[in-house]
Amino acid sequence: MAVTTTKDGLVRSTSRGLYCAAGDFYIDPWRRVDRALITHAHSDHARSGMASYLTAEGGVNVLRERIGLDAPVSGIAYGEQRRIGDVVVSFHPAGHLLGSSQIRVEHRGEVWVITGDYKIAPDASCEAFEPVPCHHLITEATFALPVYKWPESSVVFEQINQWWRENQVEGRTSVLFAYALGKAQRVLCGVDPSIGPIGVHGAVEKMLPHYRAAGRPIPDGIVKASVDYKDLLKKRGLIVAPGSVQNTPWLRKFAPYSLAFASGWMAIRGARRRRALDRGFVVSDHVDWQGILDTVAATGAETVGVTHGYADPLVRWLREERGLKAYEVVTRFSGEGFEDSDDSGERERGVDEKGSA
């Protein structure tokens, strides 16, 4: 059984979230605190009601969109060092979604890195992941099992394009479920817009201006999937929407349709069938098993905390195969969800994919 965090350590788990006493701040807290450092804007990492927020500059607008346009959010450039209390902090690209970060904390020569959610495969929708050398790494473990190995993104997007073309021939609307923040934008940057019209759910649409402002290649001509554009999209269009719209009147107006989900959980046999999907595409904005191992090695960390997902098997592997000090970091959240009812990033390990898979 994995050993959990204690009161010792520069960053420790508390009832409010990860806490750094030397800087008197929390990282991704889930209860109200005075000073919150936020890795990214999914709601299992970014909650409303904090007295102050600090996040990467590239993520300020999407964070405000999620927690409130008047929220007290400040931005910091990637790599810029800032002293908070007795520690020096900096934010570094995590490759999860626009503006997502790993947070580096240095105190008296000791360096900790908290990854938040991350992936190491680059994509056009966000800043590319960069490994950060450290003594102590706290890594997510959403897909920390050897069965999870992601295919090349280019291969998966060609599969999506071909499914879309086939549906046009059959006279069906292509409906692809993807999380409104992060996954949906990655999909839009990866599909071929020349195939046909593209519509998006309103939850996806409100994030697009922030991605375009950041220079991300969101296709032109995307419309809000509504009654006004029903005739344009039916039988030939691609609609990108959160999975929560399945079996709703909103979706039924675009029938006949083919349903698919872009998710890391689609790598598991039976996941598509349980959700009553026609297709499942393996697209995850989290790191896979080998990516976690490669990241641990790249950082040079001697001690590894594991959180958000399959912590126990990863802890055991790091101890037995790598000879590292490893332990489980207990948090309120446990993995990447699949239902994502509000498309925010809530997680249910092994059942659904979270606000981003």
Does 338 have pLDDT greater than 60? no
pLDDT in tens, 182-230: 999 999 999 999 999 999 999 999 999 999 999 999 999 999 999 999 9
Q: State the burial class of residue 252 (Cβ atoms within 10 Å of its Cβ: 0-12, 13-18, 19+).
A: exposed
DSSP labels, 204-266: HHTTHHHHHHTT--PPTT-EE-SGGGHHHHTTT-EEEE-GGGTTSHHHHTT-SEEEEEE-GGG
Assigned token pair, 235: 């039988």
Quick check: 350 pLDDT over 50? no
Can you read off the two tokens belonging to residue 283?
Answer: 């697209």
Confidence of residue 351 (pLDDT cuts 50, 70, 90): very low
Mean pLDDT of 332-339: 50
pLDDT of residue 331: 75
pLDDT at res. 333: 56
Q: Which amino acid is it at 252?
A: R
The whole-number pLDDT of residue 206 equals 96
Say which range, 166-175, 231-240, 342-351, has the weakest mean pLDDT: 342-351
Lowest mean pLDDT among 4-13, 26-35, 254-263: 4-13
Edge to edge, the sheet with strand 279-281 lists 223-224, 198-200, 238-241, 173-177, 257-262, 279-281
Question: Tens digit of pLDDT for each residue in 136-146?
Answer: 999 999 999 99
Identify the band that residue 271 occupies on the pLDDT scale cut at 50, 70 and 90. Answer: confident
* 148-176 mean pLDDT: 98
Burial of 351 (0-12, 13-18, 19+ CB in 10 A): middle
pLDDT 10s digits, 122-137: 899 999 999 999 999 9
pLDDT single digits (tens) 47-74: 999 999 999 999 999 999 999 999 999 9
Q: How far apart are CA 103 and CA 39, in angstroms?
A: 7
Share of the chain above pLDDT 70, in %: 90
The rounded mean pLDDT for the chain is 91
Q: Is the pLDDT of residue 22 over 80?
A: yes
- Three-class SS state of 141: strand
Scan for tokens 């609307």, then name that residue: 173
For residue range 97-117, what is the model confidence (pLDDT) as tens digits? 999 999 999 999 999 999 999
Angle in degrees, 0-180, between the axes of helices 289-299 and 311-322, rounded to the nearest 10: 50
pLDDT tens for 200-212 read 999 999 999 999 9
Q: Does this model's pTM top 0.75?
A: yes
